[in-house]
Amino acid sequence: MQTFVEFLKQSMRLGSVDVWLFALLVGIVLLSWRRSRSWARAYFGVVLATLWLLSTPAVAEWLAGLTDGDYVPIRRVEDARGATTVVVLGGGSYTYHVGRFFLSETAGWTAFRVIEGARVFRFLIGPTSSPKLILMGGPTQRHDPAARPESDAMGGAMLALGVPLDALVFENRSKTTREQALEFKRMFAGHESEPFVLVTSPTHMVRSMGAFRAVGLNPIASPSALASDGDRQRWQPSDDALMIADSIIYDSAARVYYWTRGWLAK
């Protein structure tokens, strides 16, 4: 069962070549049968329209707004309810290595989470407050044994944003949201009832809040941005919009899976 779940997680994504090769194969099969050729035309039209709609910012961001749980970034110190810990969840990273040289970089979602984490960190600094940033994420490149943990890439990005090294805490074992919740509970032992700020993508926030609450923790949501600031053509397809749509579909399916396993707070 777990192997099948891992296959779906890696292959059945809008950004995966496997999905579109499968869609093309279905169309070819329909075209090969005379009785189904008229259906094939309609099928390819639906596939094209679906891809276009899901890859436009207007549709992708509208769908994101339906699934984000109405969580918004914290804007006032009072919203943090005295929290002095900020937890940033990894959302993917890349490790490039040649010989003895390694370079780790954050993937798109992780970069936005890092930016939000750095913003909240600076926001919470006060005369008597020295917040800590917990960076969570182990290696995500499953087929590369030399891949570095996500938290390494996140740490480098945090330093580039001006966050001091002594404010960072690295967690480098977790690979799923469930594991992140359990690992942080272990790190936060004895303080489970205390509030902390949880930073992740809007499309991931509902599942993350449920997963952390399910293990007895008290998170305060502060979702990151969906895309960079700037003018965007609302109806022009883009890779970023397709990534948003992909995350919505992925996380919706993951929420169902977590619910069946009892990993979400009721």
Residue 141 pLDDT level (bands cut at 50, 70, 90):
low
Instruction: Output Rg (C-alpha) for the chain, integer angstroms.
Output: 20
Instruction: Specify whether 17 is located in the same domain as 77.
Output: no
> Is 204 among the domain residues?
yes
Give the Cα separation of 114 and 119 in Å (integer): 9
CB 135 within 8 A of CB 169: yes
Residue range 157-166: average pLDDT? 95
Please give the Cα distance from 183 to 171 (Å, whole number): 8
pLDDT for 38 equals: 81
Q: Do 10 and 129 fall into the same domain?
A: no
Angle (CA) 28 29 33, round 5°: 110
- Same-domain pairing of 50 and 129: no
- 138 and 180 in one domain? yes
- Is position 157 within any domain? yes
How confident is residue 6, by pLDDT bands cut at 50, 70 and 90?
low
Are 162 and 95 part of one and the same domain?
Answer: yes
Question: Which DSSP category does 129 fall into?
Answer: B
Amino acid symbol at 131: P
Give the total number of structural domains in the chain.
Answer: 2
Measured distance CA(109)–CA(66) in Å, rounded: 19
Residue 165 within any structural domain of the chain: yes
Query: 118 in a domain, yes or no?
Result: yes
**Same domain (yes/no): 162, 31:** no
Give the domain CATH number at 132: 3.40.50.620
Query: Residue 221 belongs to what H/E stretch?
Result: strand 218-221
Tell me the one-letter amino acid at 168: L
Say whether both 37 and 99 belong to one domain.
no
The verdict on 7 and 135 lying in the same domain is no
Q: What is the pLDDT of residues 201-237, one digit of tens each?
A: 999 999 999 999 999 999 999 999 988 877 667 888 8
**Alpha-carbon gap, residue 107 to 243, rounded angstroms:** 11
Do residues 210 and 126 both lie within one domain? yes
Taking the C-alpha atoms of residue 149 and residue 151, their distance in angstroms, rounded to an integer, is 5
User: Are both 133 and 176 inside the same structural domain?
Assistant: yes
pLDDT score for 9: 54
SS3 state at 195 = strand
End-to-end CA distance of the chain: 25
> What pLDDT, on the 0 to 100 scale, is given for residue 240?
87
Amino acid identity, position 119: R
The answer to whether the beta carbons of residues 109 and 116 sit under 8 Å apart is: no
In a domain, 135, yes or no: yes
Check whether 50 has a pLDDT greater than 80: yes
State both tokens at 113: 């989470």
Q: Is 125 in a helix, a strand, or coil?
A: coil
Query: Is 65 domain-assigned?
Result: no
Statement to judge: residues 77 and 170 lie in one domain: yes
Shared domain check, 93 and 190: yes
Which has the minimum average pLDDT: 7-11, 36-40, 58-62? 7-11
pLDDT higher than 80, residue 147: no
d(CA 14, CA 153): 25
Q: What is the pLDDT of residues 163-194, one digit of tens each?
A: 999 999 999 999 999 999 999 999 999 998 99
* Cα–Cα distance measured from residue 243 to residue 111, given in angstroms and rounded to the nearest whole number: 14
DSSP E strand stretches across 85-201: 85-89, 93-98, 101-106, 132-136, 168-171, 195-199
Query: What is the average pLDDT across 97-102?
Result: 81
Give the distance, in angstroms, between the CA of residue 101 and the centroid of all CA atoms in the same chain.
Answer: 27
Find out whether 161 and 118 touch, Cβ atoms under 8 Å.
yes
Strand 195-199 with 168-171, pairing: unpaired
Inside any domain, residue 240:
no
In which domain, by residue range, is 34 found? Answer: 2-54
In a domain, 253, yes or no: no
